[in-house]
Structure 1
């Protein structure tokens, strides 16, 4: 089954899951698909966790706690949420390789550096072999690739990031990584017993 990982650098939970996705990518072919989380929220008419004051505070502290529990370095960037578009485009311009994606994640979440402008990313881009970051981020093919990722996410009915897509099944969030790996080892489990029943569970009440 094809495996794809949808992510946005703005998500601290994408950084947490990246540690496991990078390991998975060393064992299987994983398509790394950066997408703009804000566009996904707009499509669904949802507010993100950072747009709800008390949820924002909880989310940041929980992410920091999770990082400490997992032994993952984490330092939030200077502002959050921030505009992740330059970082997303940089990943595509650099070939969306494991090394490039990892370097961008580390720049933002291990070192707490800004990534919301071409100027902020210039030293990182140079280390990735990109001499003129402004030209690279404005390239039509880079923009088109990012849009194509979003359209594929919409086709798969994505509802959040990070999401690991295994075939047609979506596993949302860093917390679901173990669930995803268990499914990958035994996909038929979704066709048995209570798992099969949950796929067709009737809706008892809907909010208008």
Structure 2
């Protein structure tokens, strides 16, 4: 049985393929003291839905993105090692998180396997090592795979319905906060929620466009 996203609850949307999701989770001690539901979604599906292109699909942006992730990790003092290939297929790792009902600590352990140790969870060997790391039986997980896959697809569809366009994204009080560098804004809005109702925020949120979309 799959479960729907409760729009009234705070969520944190992630994909294990995202280095910035890892970097943001490593700053969990700075997050607002709210019970965010760690919710895996498929980043590539978001790109396809919204008509965007992944950073790694553009050669110069790909290089910058990896350098920026490394720079941010060094700036924040977070251990960081790129996996041997990127992008990789993150669906098995996300289904593992769902099948095991992983909490923030469990999700962090998977992120660290990938982004701290530089491992690839999409290979048979890498996934087996990850299951062993979490104390999970691969055969049991295989049996739960169909349910976890359906849940991942539902998570992604419902995130899109909320307007989520990338990861990492905080969803709080019906508002979206995207990116590792959005944490200060999340903290501010958690303390001062009426800021979003201020005149200037409302004005910029409703600006018309002078250019028609393609």
TM-score range, shorter chain: over 0.9
> Tell me, which stretches of 5 or more residues in structure 1 are unaligned?
none
* Partners of 2:133 and 2:179 in 1: CA distance: 30
Query: Which of 80, 85, 102 is matched with 1:74 structurally?
Result: 80
Q: Say yes or no: does 1:92 pair with 2:98.
A: yes
User: 1:163-206 CA distances to partner (integer Å, 9 max, x unpaired)?
Assistant: 11112110010011111111111111111121121122222222
User: Is residue 16 of structure 1 aligned with residue 23 of structure 2?
Assistant: yes
Shift of 1:111: 0.5
Name structure 2 gaps, 5 residues minimum: 1-7
Greater alpha carbon shift after TM alignment, 101-110 vs 116-125: 116-125
| Structure 1 pair 46–39 and aligned structure 2 pair: CA distance change class (3 A) | same
Change (3 A) 1:163 1:38: same
Q: Secondary structure at the match of 1:81?
A: coil
CA distance in 1, matches of 2:129, 2:93: 13
CA distance in structure 1 between the partners assigned to 2:50 and 2:197 by the alignment: 29
Distance 1:13 1:107, change over 3 A: same
Q: 2:157 maps to what in 1?
A: 151
Alpha-carbon shift at residue 23 of structure 1 (Å): 5.1
Which residue does 1:175 correspond to in 2? 181
Query: Does the Cα contact within 8 Å between 1:3 and 1:165 map onto a contact in 2?
Result: yes
Aligned counterparts of 1:83 and 1:22: Cα–Cα separation in 2: 29
The answer to whether 1:43 aligns with 2:49 is: yes
Q: Write the distance in 1 (CA, Å) between the matches of 2:77 and 2:65.
A: 18
Match of 1:199 in 2: 205
Q: Give the aligned length.
A: 207
Matches of 1:22 and 1:151, distance apart in 2:
29
Quote the residue 2:125 is aligned against.
119
TM-score scaled by length of structure 1: 0.92
